[in-house]
Amino acid sequence: MAVLDISAQAVDAARLRLGASAGAVEWIVADVTTWQPNTAYDIWHDRAAFHFLTERRDRQAYVERLRTALKPGGHAIIASFALDGPERCSGLPVERYDEGRLVAAIGNGFRLVEAHRRLHRTPWGAAQSFQYTVLQRDHA
């Protein structure tokens, strides 16, 4: 299993939280749009990173990495703000998605498995409308 984040601070916090189990994880500090995956995984779980990619070229770079790093038949779970979610996160603008927009953004070679909307309660008590979209990469 691997955890990737552009923020070394975020990776350190997650590693500390896992304690003794942290050794079972590969910890990667990288921008997902320039990261060079050297293996392929069964599951890609994006916990609200894709929605930060507001430039088309960055989304294309993300999808290229998703195609490299996810095995054929593997699943991608992508969490993002929903269409009625916040317009910004941590002061940065975000793209918002429903399953149709997300499927279109990821492009060919994936099929929609399921989609859910959920209200997420932040540590400071705010409610954020989230979209969880599950896609399966086509078998080779």
Ligand X SMILES: C[S@@+](CC[C@H](N)C(=O)[O-])C[C@H]1O[C@@H](n2cnc3c(N)ncnc32)[C@H](O)[C@@H]1O
In the complex, the smallest distance separating the C-beta of residue 94 from ligand X, rounded to whole angstroms, is 9
| Phi, psi torsion values for 132, nearest 5 degrees | -110, 120
Regarding 116 and contact with ligand X (CB under 6 A), the answer is: no
Nearest to 2 by CA among 19, 17, 15: 15
Distance CA 39, CA 37 (A): 6
Span interacting with ligand X, options 45-53, 65-73, 99-107, 109-117, rule CB under 6 A: 45-53
In the complex, the smallest distance separating the C-beta of residue 48 from ligand X, rounded to whole angstroms, is 4
Characterize 87-97 residue by residue with b for buried, 16 or more Cβ atoms within 10 angstroms of its Cβ, and e for exposed: eeeeeeebbbb
Span interacting with ligand X, options 48-56, 98-106, 116-124, 126-134, rule CB under 6 A: 48-56
**Which spans of this chain sit near ligand X (rule: CB under 6 A)?**
4-7, 10, 31-33, 47-49, 52
